[in-house]
Chain A
Amino acid sequence: MSTTQEKPMTLKSLSHKKDLLTGGHRMCSGCGAPIVLRQVLLAVENPVVLTNATGCLEVSTCLFPFTAWRVPWMHSAFENSAATASGIETMYRALRKKGKIKKEMNFIAIGGDGGTYDIGFQSLSGAMERGHKMLYICYDNGAYMNTGIQRSSATPFGADTTTCPAGDVVPGKPQRRKDLTRIMAAHNVAYAAQASPHNWKDLITKVKKALAADGPSYMGIIAPCNRGWRCQTNDAIQLSKLAVDACFWPLYEVEGGKWTINYDPKDKKRPIKDWLKPQGRFKHLFAPGNEWMLEKFQQGVDADWESLKKLQEAFGR
Chain B
Amino acid sequence: MRVRQLKDLLAGRLMIAFAIFSSLLVFLIAIALYWRSKPILEAKSLSDLLLGSTWLPFQGEFGFYPFILGTLYVTILAMIFAVPLSILSAIYLAEYAHENLREKVLPLIDLLAGIPPVVYGVFGVLAIVPLVEYIAPVIGKLGIPFLRAESYSTGFSLLAGGIVLAIMVFPIIISISHEVFRAVPSEIRDASLSLGATKWQTIKHAVIRTALPGIAAAIILGFSRAFGETMAVLMVVGNVPSVPKSVFDPAYPMPALIANNYGEMMSIPLYDSALLLAALILMLVILLFTLAARLVLIRIERSMAHG
Q: Do A and B bind each other?
A: no
